[in-house]
Copies of this chain bind each other. A is one copy, B any other.
Amino acid sequence: MRIILTFIKIIILSMAKRRKLMLRRPKTTKSANQIPGTMTYVGNKESSETKLDVIDYNAERYERFSSTTPEDAFRFVDEKSVTWFNIDGLSNIEEIEKLGDYYELHPLVMEDIVNTGQRPKIEEYQDYLFIVAKMLYYKNGEIENEHLSMIVGKNYVLTFQESDGDVFDPIRERIETAKGRIRTRSADYLMFALLDSIIDNYFLVIDDMSDRIEALEESLFTSRPSDDITYEIQDLKRNILRIRRAVFPLREVISRLEKMDSELIDTHTGNFIRDLYDHIIQISENIDIYREMIWGLMDMYMTTISNKMNEVMKVLTIMASIFIPLTFIAGIYGMNFEYIPELQWKYSYFVLWGVMIIVFLLMLYYFKRKKWL
């Protein structure tokens, strides 16, 4: 009796390790019913304050400066050097407005800078280009999707980010150490370098997607079926769709940038932008391939489950088909009829064993032929 209880206990305990799902609540995509042109930050990055980081450089000189108020930085603005204002944190709207007023930005541009739901786009204004893009990078093992706005003027670039941490450190280093062309070129080359850096990080993110797909494929075959795998596949789907949403509109942006006939963009930079376009097309193709792979995973998973169920059913069918007839035979001679001739014969017990072994072997042969064993 105890054995059965133990057995039941094992089964019950094996149920205890339960799946824990962490379904994240997606944020609202836009603050509804506000007055158009009103700045409202709708993101969820907790940045207590707005930080301003200024890099001013040309071939000869380099200066870097940090501040929390834009006014401190205006003295850098002159014709002879490129000035890169980087703003971290979008929740402090007043400071951003000061900068916007100084550069005479359009109210709708100001609104899009803080509207983190805005999709990537490019707009050409009189004195500047306005570019929205999404930075994708890894932070604590999660894909971080950060809203980035860029204003490219004659000799300045403004970048607005949601929070600390970005993908631009290699560029800062290159400017500081005067590596590559960057110090000798103007603001449009800086814009190119920033976009190039964003797109390079897309490569890292989709390479990681590819690793996850592969790991999942492996575990489809090796681990026992569980809802965790279903959930992981669904999560991959969600991620690839999210990445797609960041990348595909940017492709359009780069394409328009390539064709744009603006005074702000030097012809030399044009070649580099064409290169950028090549890269983003390559990413788009990879995304579409990974997407197909992910969609195929669900089918694969279904097939492996079915295979496993097939195995289970075969074991049941073999066990039942062999022992149920044998039990029936045993049951026959367990009957209490007064007159059953076989019961009196001396060797009938052994004959019966023989018969049962033959039935057993025939069954084995039958299942062997059916390739179930």
CB closest chain-B residue, reference A5: B362
Query: Which stretch in A63-71, A256-264, A293-301 binds the other chain?
Result: A293-301
Q: Are A293 and B237 in contact (CB under 8 A)?
A: yes
Is residue A184 within 8 Å, beta carbon to beta carbon, of the partner chain? no
Q: Are A29 and B203 in contact (CB under 8 A)?
A: yes
Is residue A231 within 8 Å, beta carbon to beta carbon, of the partner chain? yes
Interface size on A, residues (CB 8 A): 145
Identify whether the interface residues of A are mostly helix, strand, loop, or mixed: helix
Is residue A80 within 8 Å, beta carbon to beta carbon, of the partner chain? no
Q: Which residues of B contact A349 (CB under 8 A)?
A: 335, 337, 339-341
What separation, in Å, do the CA atoms of A348 and B336 have in the docked complex?
A: 11
Is residue A238 within 8 Å, beta carbon to beta carbon, of the partner chain? yes
Q: Are A118 and B327 in contact (CB under 8 A)?
A: no
CB closest chain-B residue, reference A308: B310
Our pick among B30, B312, B323, B338 for the contact of A328 (Cβ within 8 Å) is: B323
Our pick among B1, B238, B346, B355 for the contact of A1 (Cβ within 8 Å) is: B355
Q: Are A370 and B15 in contact (CB under 8 A)?
A: yes
CB A27 to nearest CB in B, in angstroms, measures 9
Is residue A126 within 8 Å, beta carbon to beta carbon, of the partner chain? no
Given A306-B309, A317-B315, A321-B319, A8 and B327 contact (CB-CB distance below 8 Å): no
Q: Which residues of B contact A344 (CB under 8 A)?
A: 338
CB A315 to nearest CB in B, in angstroms, measures 5
Given A221-B21, A369-B15, A207 and B29 contact (CB-CB distance below 8 Å): yes
Q: Are A221 and B231 in contact (CB under 8 A)?
A: yes
- CB under 8 Å from chain B, chain A span 25-83: 25-26, 28-30, 32-38
CB closest chain-B residue, reference A279: B30
CB A59 to nearest CB in B, in angstroms, measures 16
CB closest chain-B residue, reference A285: B245
Is residue A230 within 8 Å, beta carbon to beta carbon, of the partner chain? yes
Our pick among B23, B180, B298 for the contact of A296 (Cβ within 8 Å) is: B298
Our pick among B221, B272, B324 for the contact of A323 (Cβ within 8 Å) is: B324
Is residue A275 within 8 Å, beta carbon to beta carbon, of the partner chain? yes
Q: Are A300 and B234 in contact (CB under 8 A)?
A: yes
Query: Which stretch in A85-93, A94-102, A141-149, A193-201 binds the other chain?
Result: A193-201
Q: Are B225 and A4 in contact (CB under 8 A)?
A: no
Q: Are B303 and A298 in contact (CB under 8 A)?
A: yes
- CB under 8 Å from chain B, chain A span 331-373: 331-344, 346-349, 352, 355, 357, 359-360, 362-364, 366, 369-373
Q: Which residues of B contact A366 (CB under 8 A)?
A: 8, 11-12
CB A119 to nearest CB in B, in angstroms, measures 5
What separation, in Å, do the CA atoms of A304 and B241 have in the docked complex?
A: 22
Our pick among B204, B217, B333 for the contact of A336 (Cβ within 8 Å) is: B333
Given A305-B310, A343-B337, A30 and B203 contact (CB-CB distance below 8 Å): yes
Q: Are A3 and B214 in contact (CB under 8 A)?
A: no
Convert A1-18 into 0s and 1s, putting 1 for each residue whose CB lies closer than 8 angstroms to a CB of B.
101110110111011000
Q: Which residues of B contact A204 (CB under 8 A)?
A: 32
Q: Which residues of B contact A312 (CB under 8 A)?
A: 310, 313-314, 317, 372
What separation, in Å, do the CA atoms of A26 and B235 have in the docked complex?
A: 21
CB A318 to nearest CB in B, in angstroms, measures 8
6 sampled A-B residue pairs with Cβ under 8 A: A15-B369, A108-B271, A221-B227, A225-B306, A237-B296, A334-B334
